[in-house]
Structure 1
Amino acid sequence: MTITLITGTSTGIGLQVAVQAAAAGHTVVATMRDLGKADALRSAASDAGVTVDIRQLDVTDAASIAACIEATVAAHGAIDALINNAGSGHLGTIEQEGLDAVRDVMEVNFFGVVATTRAAMPHLRASKGRVLTVSSVGGIVGQPFNEAYCAAKFAVEGFMEALAPVAATVGVRVSLVEPGAVSSDFVANVGADVPAMVAAAGAYGPALAGYIARTTAAFSPAAAQTPAGAAAAIVELLLAETPAVRIQTSDAARAFVARKLADLDGSAVFTETIGWVS
């Protein structure tokens, strides 16, 4: 039976991956920074008739990572798969925020992935396992007011793409997962007070208001993929005998990524994304 450790499982995609992977027969170690937020996962697991092992793991804390991995191996004997899902959203533009804000975004979304992967690699090498990292279409296409977030996801993409052939030589398969818009409370997820942000944005205010209006609509349940749908694509990749290095979780995500990869001079992407803010 496969021992699968997942980060960031208190809500959204991570919660759904934990439940669906358990339903598919994996022994799931579902981790989150704050165990006080575990009730939603417990409830979803109970409703699905599955059991998950819920543990604390803060991807920005090396001691927390080490303790969780050590405890997982002690309890279950191995780690066969790591799913890096933990992350956080962020809105802002560089003229109006300090470098500490950018560093915080990088710490969670990039260095947290690197640190957790590094700690798990000896165990994954022993089990000939795999690493699945949830990135974003924002790791391929830079998006307005997501400079720090996209920088972190671009870094994740480069790191994992470079790691993949090296890890393969010791039997570990590395894959990237790129969701597009997934239905959520977009504004709540980034912790934004929209009126205050727009009022404080000065010359950028109209562009920010336009971006938030467009993106809130794009992330609405009527327009976006569900967390369960994105999770199903991840679990399918987890179960694949020969996993792809990169997948997108929806047709919309595939089309968006394909547009960038065919856009050698950047004009197509720029024309689209400037339309989001003008």
Structure 2
Amino acid sequence: MSATPRTPRTVLITGTSSGIGLSAAVAAARAGWHTVATLRDTTRAGALREAAAEAGVTLDIRQLDVTDETSVTAAVDGVIADHGRLDAVVNNAGAGHLGTLENDAMDDVRDVMEVNFFGVLNVSKAALAHLRATGGRLVTVTSVGGVIGQPFNEAYCAAKFAVEGYMESLAPVARTLGVSVSVVEPGAVATEFVNNVGVDLNADIAAGPYSDALRRYIDRATEQFLKADVQTSAAAAEAVMEALHADRPAFRIQTSDWARTFVGTKLADVDGSAVQDLTATWIA
């Protein structure tokens, strides 16, 4: 008598129009997951569909706006209705922002928090009961900027710090009910993310007393993201797969040796001087 086939596991991934989210969606489908690839604007799914076709995999592509609780609830309920289960969530949707406190409008800072922090909470809250039912996994793509504050990234790093603190606090609570919680921390990744940070470089560099320091920061960041050996989104997505497949995934998973070294600077820096000395060189 043949064994009953195992029902494929289902994963929901946010922010899959490009970058790590796109690569993780394709990698998960290739690994045998029912992959629900979500994005705020489904008209931007062209690259995702092409990547899936090239890999010979099928994706369930759906609309989900992480800042809209109604959209989140509808997406999660739809996954349960159509697939019957939810075994993992990968919170990947996010938005960059360059600016500094004196120049930023407070509404802009709130928008950054809404997408990068509250959006993660919206999706995670909607999914947790279903993850409890399957002993599932909650994975959130943060950033090395969730560990080390970086010049002109105050709002972005604040949101990522908040996510890391929330998930670090949630992890032992969720574990008592069989849910694994991890954060994935990329460093510099060759994606469109760096081109979508919501800043008019010409206008912002020319404005105000911070223009010289901002220009130095942007020059350094541009050089870093254009390096031939910068990590690809596919390589970074391997860390997401580790969080999904490891028997006991670590809470904090970096995507590269560079990211591990960089994060390690902070974790060993009791008085904060090492980080301040390091990041000051980026704008001095």
Amino acid at match of 2:59: V
Amino acid at match of 2:275: V
Number of aligned positions between the proteins: 277
Q: SS of 2:17's equivalent?
A: coil
The match for 1:157 is 164
Q: 1:186 to 1:114 in 2, by over 3 A?
A: closer
Q: SS of 1:162's equivalent?
A: helix
2:212 to 206, 212, 216: 206
Alpha-carbon contact 1:184-1:220 (below 8 Å) kept? no
Paired with 2:55 and 2:194, the residues of 1 have a C-alpha distance of: 29
**Deviations for 1:185-232, whole angstroms, at most 9, x for unmatched residues?**
4652213221111012x1100000000000111112414211010001
Paired with 1:242 and 1:179, the residues of 2 have a C-alpha distance of: 20
Amino acid at match of 2:133: A
1:143 to 139, 144, 150: 150
Q: Name structure 1 gaps, 5 residues minimum.
A: none
> Shift of residue 40 of structure 1?
0.5
Q: Name structure 2 gaps, 5 residues minimum.
A: 1-7
The match for 1:96 is 103
Task: Say yes or no: does 1:63 pair with 2:41.
Answer: no
Amino acid at match of 1:99: M
Amino acid at match of 2:228: A
* Amino-acid identity (%): 61
Q: SS of 1:96's equivalent?
A: coil
Alpha-carbon contact 2:19-2:193 (below 8 Å) kept? no
Amino acid at match of 1:13: I
Paired with 2:158 and 2:190, the residues of 1 have a C-alpha distance of: 23
Paired with 2:173 and 2:259, the residues of 1 have a C-alpha distance of: 27
> Shift of residue 184 of structure 1?
2.8
Q: 1:161 to 1:141 in 2, by over 3 A?
A: same
Bigger mean CA deviation after superposition, 31-40 or 177-186? 177-186
Paired with 1:221 and 1:232, the residues of 2 have a C-alpha distance of: 20
The match for 2:126 is 119
**Alignment TM-score, normalising by the size of structure 2:** 0.96
Task: Say yes or no: does 1:240 pair with 2:220.
Answer: no
Alpha-carbon contact 1:182-1:225 (below 8 Å) kept? yes
> Shift of residue 70 of structure 1?
0.6
Amino acid at match of 1:244: A
Paired with 1:24 and 1:277, the residues of 2 have a C-alpha distance of: 43
1:258 to 264, 271, 275: 264
> Shift of residue 237 of structure 1?
2.0
Paired with 1:158 and 1:146, the residues of 2 have a C-alpha distance of: 18
Amino acid at match of 2:38: T
Alpha-carbon contact 1:187-1:194 (below 8 Å) kept? no
1:37 to 29, 39, 44: 44
Paired with 1:187 and 1:204, the residues of 2 have a C-alpha distance of: 20
Paired with 2:126 and 2:105, the residues of 1 have a C-alpha distance of: 30
> Shift of residue 131 of structure 1?
0.2
The match for 2:5 is none
Task: Say yes or no: does 1:23 pair with 2:30.
Answer: yes
Aligned Cα RMSD in Å?
0.9
**Alignment TM-score, normalising by the size of structure 1:** 0.98
Amino acid at match of 2:218: I
**Deviations for 1:44-86, whole angstroms, at most 9, x for unmatched residues?**
0000000000000000000000000011000100100000000
> Shift of residue 236 of structure 1?
2.2
Task: Say yes or no: does 1:193 pair with 2:193.
Answer: no
